[in-house]
């Protein structure tokens, strides 16, 4: 059972404040959705959770199982069992997916024996095929010559290999066609069932949320959470649009 708590988080990039006091909690076994327009601060939140060097926390805290992770480097946060699925996963020439993931898995579980490279390679290949990807991607550099959609699927495989307890997926649905979106949603659901991972799904379409049925949805606007609620919030958002819902919630405040 893991929790990731964001507490009154203020974040600046190049001296400009982007997040103005964000609060939210992700728990094992739960799916939280966070919706908002481009520029509302969703990706800033994701990158800040992982300690990206460009994002400075001016106030507030991030707690994993009750302990602050602000002093930890990105890799140490990851090894706690937190995973970030990138909005635009980059390609890394020469570093093969297979070698990369095998190393990452070993670093996460240093007490376990490093997996046999051939066995690991074979297993990874079949995972790629299962999700509808060309198995040759495993031999190539990470995301090398892969389309945006392929990279997103590969992020899902990385997630399932590393078995994190908390998963943050930053616009995993952008650039995916409807079939790929369904595959991604299935993987999220499966991962939750099998390992009881907790999810934070960052999106600005509610389709992913429709498929994955989150327990809680947060509406983000201009760097704060303006509204939260159950799955019905996504439906409401679909019907009324951002503008109206944001206006309504600021009136309520």
Partner 1 sequence: MDSKLDLEIDYKAGWADPEQFTASTDFGLTEDIVREISKLKDEPEWMLEFRLKALEIFKQLPMPKWGDQEKLLQVDFQKIRYYARYSEKTEESWDDVPDDIKQTYEKLGIPEAERKFLGGVGAQYDSETVYHKLREDLEKQGVIFLSTDEGLKKYPEYFKEYFGKIIPANDNKFAALNSAVWSGGSFIIIPKGLKVSVPLQAYFRINAKNVGQFERTLIIAEEGSDIHYIEGCTAPSYSSDSLHAAVVELVAHKNSRIRYTTIQNWSNNVFNLVTKRAFAYENSLVEWVDGNIGSKLTMKYPSIYLMEPGAKGEVLSVAYASHGQHQDTGAKILHLAPRTHSRITAKSISRGNGKTTYRGLITVAPNAGNVVSNVVCDALLLDEDSTNDTYPYQEIQRDDATITHEATVGKIGKETMFYLMSRGLPENEAIALICMGFFEPFAKELPMEYAVELNRLIEIDMAEYGAVG
Q: Which residues of the chain form contacts with partner 1 (CB under 8 A)?
A: 47, 50, 52-54, 71-76, 78-79, 83-84, 86, 89-90, 92-96, 99-101, 103-104, 107-108, 141-142, 158, 162
Q: How far, in whole angstroms, is CA 170 from its chain's centroid?
A: 5
d(C-alpha 157, C-alpha 64), whole Å: 24
Q: Work out how close the CB of 227 gets to partner 1 at its nearest, in angstroms, rounded to a whole number.
A: 29
Q: Which residue has the tokens 């990452």?
A: 104
Q: Work out how close the CB of 81 gets to partner 1 at its nearest, in angstroms, rounded to a whole number.
A: 9
Q: Work out how close the CB of 69 gets to partner 1 at its nearest, in angstroms, rounded to a whole number.
A: 10
Q: Which CB, 63 or 80, lies closer to partner 1?
A: 80
Q: Which CB, 23 or 96, lies closer to partner 1?
A: 96
Q: Under 8 Å CB-to-CB from 204, ≥6 apart: which residues?
A: 35, 36, 37, 38, 42, 171
Q: Which CB, 99 or 196, lies closer to partner 1?
A: 99
Q: Work out how close the CB of 117 gets to partner 1 at its nearest, in angstroms, rounded to a whole number.
A: 11
Q: Which CB, 27 or 140, lies closer to partner 1?
A: 140
Q: Which of 165, 161, 35 is nearest to 106 (CA)?
A: 161
Q: Work out how close the CB of 84 gets to partner 1 at its nearest, in angstroms, rounded to a whole number.
A: 5
Is residue 208 within 8 A of residue 226, CB to CB? The reply is no
Q: Which residues pair with 141 in a beta bridge?
A: 96
Q: Under 8 Å CB-to-CB from 31, ≥6 apart: which residues?
A: 188, 192, 198, 199, 201, 212, 213, 214, 215, 216
Q: Work out how close the CB of 230 gets to partner 1 at its nearest, in angstroms, rounded to a whole number.
A: 30
What is the DSSP pairing of strand 31-35 with strand 216-221?
A: parallel
Q: Which CB, 112 or 232, lies closer to partner 1?
A: 112
Q: Which CB, 76 or 213, lies closer to partner 1?
A: 76
For 57-86, b/e burial (b = at least 16 CB within 10 A) is eeebebebeeeebeebeeeebbbbbbbbbb
């Amino acid at each position: 059972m893991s929790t990731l708590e964001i507490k009154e988080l203020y974040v600046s990039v190049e001296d400009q404040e982007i997040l103005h006091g964000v609060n939210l909690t992700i728990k094992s076994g739960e799916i939280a959705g966070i919706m908002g327009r481009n520029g509302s601060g969703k990706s800033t939140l994701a990158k800040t959770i992982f300690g990206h060097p460009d994002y400075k926390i001016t106030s507030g805290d991030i707690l994993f199982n009750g302990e602050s992770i602000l002093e930890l480097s990105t890799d140490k946060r990851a090894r706690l069992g937190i995973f970030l699925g990138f909005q635009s996963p980059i390609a890394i020439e020469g570093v093969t997916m297979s070698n990369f993931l095998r190393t990452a898995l070993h670093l996460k579980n240093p007490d376990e024996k490093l997996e046999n490279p051939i066995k690991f390679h074979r297993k990874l290949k079949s995972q790629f095929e299962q999700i509808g990807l060309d198995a040759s991607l495993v031999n190539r550099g990470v995301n090398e010559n892969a389309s945006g959609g392929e990279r997103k699927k590969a992020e899902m495989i990385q997630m399932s290999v590393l078995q994190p307890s908390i998963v943050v997926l930053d616009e995993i649905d952008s650039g995916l066609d409807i079939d790929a979106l369904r595959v991604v949603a299935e993987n999220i659901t499966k991962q939750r069932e099998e390992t009881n991972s907790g999810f934070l799904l960052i999106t600005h379409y509610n389709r992913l949320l429709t498929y994955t049925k989150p327990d809680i949805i947060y509406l983000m606007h201009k760097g704060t959470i303006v509204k939260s609620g159950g799955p019905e919030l996504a439906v409401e958002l679909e019907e009324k649009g951002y503008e109206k819902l944001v206006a309504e919630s600021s009136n309520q405040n």
